[in-house]
Chain A
Amino acid sequence: MNTMTAQPVAAPPVPRKVAASLSEAKHLSFWAENAAPVGLIVLVVVFSVLSPTFLTVGNITAMLVAAAILVVLAVAQSFVITTGGIDLSISATMTIGAVGLGLAYQAGLPFWPSAIIAILASTVIGVINGLLIAKGKVTDFIATLGTLGVATGAALILTDGKPIAVTSTELLRLTTGKLGFVPYPFVLAAIVGAVAWFVMFRTRYGLHVQAVGGSEEAAVANGVKAPRVRIAVYVWAAALAGLASLLLVARIGAAEPAINTNYLLNSIAAVVLGGVSLTGGRAKIVGPILGALLLTALSNGLTLLAVSQFYQPLAVGLVVVLAALLTRFQKR
């Protein structure tokens, strides 16, 4: 085991840090820690060589719009996974939000009150998840699988299975507006990402999330209220899914009671690509965001290259499995 060198006692100064990370590039652990940025760069290079349209402003804007929803969901999922849990209901929760928005708007409410109803509707699912898991001691996997079913069914029942058109000017502005060349949906996603990073790494709550995920027993022995932390993480994830539902409705122009399973799988895939271990305890926010961008770039590039839609899940699946294999070589 000649790769296991002794750790220096004091933190090395910056130049040595750079040198250290360069020499680390020889090790698999470097690639495991940085799978998402490396993968993203590789994809961008490959696709821009293969397709002249890939790096045009128009296509980048399209990609950012397409990535926004997944970025928000991946950030939400990352919080849940950091506690060692998982939220399988996250896309169904988004669907409930969309349906809430559609029904409220249909009932004659203005856009913003409808948007608040959408977020509240989603949050209800999060409260149920949190209570089931933290108080009912139901396994996260089972609890959120259950609410996935309930939310999907409720969305179908409430809408009679039909999409509800939402044609508000606010929604139109959200879809078409831009800050420079960055479309509003991505601006929103970036704000969510920045706030999430701050909460995770600079606040008491974020530290508790990591502590509970690392060792619930030790966290509790030090006075962390683990059930509260767990409930909050599912509630926040659901509220973010509600926020994402606004982007979803804006994108489609209608509130659809669709299942959106792709978003669920991709949100987990983005987190895994971001280098977050499903066992919890090690938080990352930038990684999952880059993972979400990577997955979006992947499907966008394949579409540009006129690769059949059928190959896209295959490509995503391969990338995720590769990333998951790589994470085994992460330094703990």
Chain B
Amino acid sequence: MTTTDTAIDTVLTAENITKSFGGVHALKGASITMRRGEVTALIGDNGAGKSTLVRCLSGIHKPDSGTITLDGAVVQIDSPLAAKHHGIETVQQNLALVEDLTVWQNFFVGREITKGVGPFQMLDRKAMRDKASTLLSGLAVNVPPVTSRVRRLSGGQRQAVAIARAAGWGSSIVIMDEPTAALGVQETARVEAVIRRLQDSGVAVLLISHNFDQVLRLAQHVWVMRGGLAVAQRRTSETTGDELVALITGAQAV
């Protein structure tokens, strides 16, 4: 694999991203790349900085320094809307659901379907309910009605809602921060099927997971984070769970 090959394949590059919260240096110059049409995994111990990096890529945090390149062009992702405009959808680790709102409202809040013109625009509630219902039925085993409030849903149902929301917009990059953390066996299998389906349709997926079997099963490439840095990368075809553990803990250097 030559460098030119990689350059052509790369859909996203994050370079030397730093981010501090007061005295906590969550990211100390992390760099990762994602290749088109691949599932890229991001692994690392708790507090390694995975979610912080994800939040920088999805416009929630503004990095203190560093550059993000999409399709060869440097971009500023300074708001969640900007990320969405660049075709990046994210399932946040905390799911980013508003518990007081219904499932369909959560699907569409921030980019509602409306009818009417100018100041007389009103929500097209039926269109949104129908679309949310369609997107969700492909995913959840125990599909909650889209008119129920998220507060009433089980942890797994909530996760399904957040994943269906992120997967449903025809974006070019989908980031999932521990998408199967609270899921049962069947639901996990469904989410993995969703990830494969996204990949088949040409979407680049960034998967954060603590489950090495899952990472080796789904991803083609894996980045290892430790202490706010991406310290190693491997093709999953050329590594093992044991090696990944060693890289995460630092027992094996790069």
Contacts and interface: CB of A to CB of B under 8 A. Distances in A.
Interface of A: 7, 9-11, 198, 202-204, 207-208, 210-211, 213-215, 217-224, 281-282, 332
Given A204-B114, A222-B96, A7 B148 contact: yes
Nearest to B112: A204
A89 to B, nearest CB: 26
B145 A221 contact: no
Contacts of B98: 210-211, 214-215, 218-219, 281
A223 B100 contact: no
27 contacts: A9-B145, A10-B145, A11-B147, A198-B122, A202-B123, A203-B123, A207-B109, A207-B112, A207-B123, A210-B100, A210-B105, A211-B98, A211-B109, A215-B98, A218-B95, A218-B96, A219-B98, A219-B109, A219-B110, A221-B60, A221-B80, A221-B90, A221-B92, A223-B84, A224-B109, A224-B110, A281-B101
Provide the main secondary structure of the chain B interface.
loop
B97 interface: yes
B115 to A, nearest CB: 10
Interface in B88-107: 90, 92, 94-101, 105-106
A224 B80 CA distance: 9
Nearest to A10: B145
A332 B147 contact: no
B127 to A, nearest CB: 13
A50 B97 CA distance: 51
Interface residues of B, number: 35
Given A219-B110, A222-B106, 19 more contacts: A7-B148, A9-B142, A9-B143, A203-B121, A203-B123, A210-B98, A214-B101, A218-B96, A218-B97, A218-B98, A219-B109, A221-B90, A221-B96, A222-B96, A223-B79, A223-B81, A223-B111, A224-B110, A281-B100
A198 B81 CA distance: 26
Contact of B110 (A9, A203, A223): A223
Contacts of A7: 148, 152
Contacts of B99: 214-215, 281
Contact of A222 (B110, B144, B152): B110
Contacts of B84: 223
Interface of B: 58, 60, 79-81, 84, 90, 92, 94-101, 105-106, 109-112, 114, 121-123, 125, 142-145, 147-148, 151-152
Give the most central of B79, B84, B110: most A CB within 10 Å: B110
Contact of A223 (B80, B92, B97, B145): B80
Contacts of A220: 60, 80
B151 A204 contact: no
Contacts of B148: 7
Contacts of B122: 198, 202-203
